[in-house]
Structure 1
Amino acid sequence: MTDKEIFDRVVTIIQERQGEDFVVTEALSLKDDLDADSVDLMEFVLTIEDEFGIEISDEEIDHLQSVADVLQAIKDKI
């Protein structure tokens, strides 16, 4: 799977929640730009895990600050 394919799938997941017109960049902050609280973040992580067939540990979740962090976590596991 290419980096672009991974990014496009993550964008789709975010846009399903935020709306199709929501602009997603790698610098996007999960907490600030998405107004995500801890429950929202967990739902997002669970969706990512299901979508890519991976597991992200609680320790790794604590380090997910931006879309770029999420992309790197996915790349490290697939």
Structure 2
Amino acid sequence: MNTFQTINTAYLRASRTIETVLVSKEHLRKVFFIYNYEGNSFRVFENHLSLLHFLQNKGENDFHFSTEIEVDGFFSKVKLVA
């Protein structure tokens, strides 16, 4: 099972944040970005560029979840590659 921790939180507004999350398992690590919209919509991005495109209305999110529990489940099982 993977471990994950939030390493940064940027507040766009009081109810909208971008979290940087480090997911790791043994010697593998990957950073993900979560756009949290009012605690009702969590869009997960595999890289910073995808996040920027989404925020500029030029791209789609990589993954979308409705609850924090779903996001945690995703991070605990996401496949990390070298």
| Interval of TM-score (by shorter of Structure 1 and Structure 2) | 0.3 to 0.5
Quick check: which has more Rg, 1 or 2? 2
| Bigger strand fraction | 2
Query: Which structure carries more helix by proportion?
Result: 1
Higher relative contact order, chain-length normalized (CA < 8 Å, sep 6+) = 1
Instruction: Output the TM-score relative to the length of structure 2.
Output: 0.32
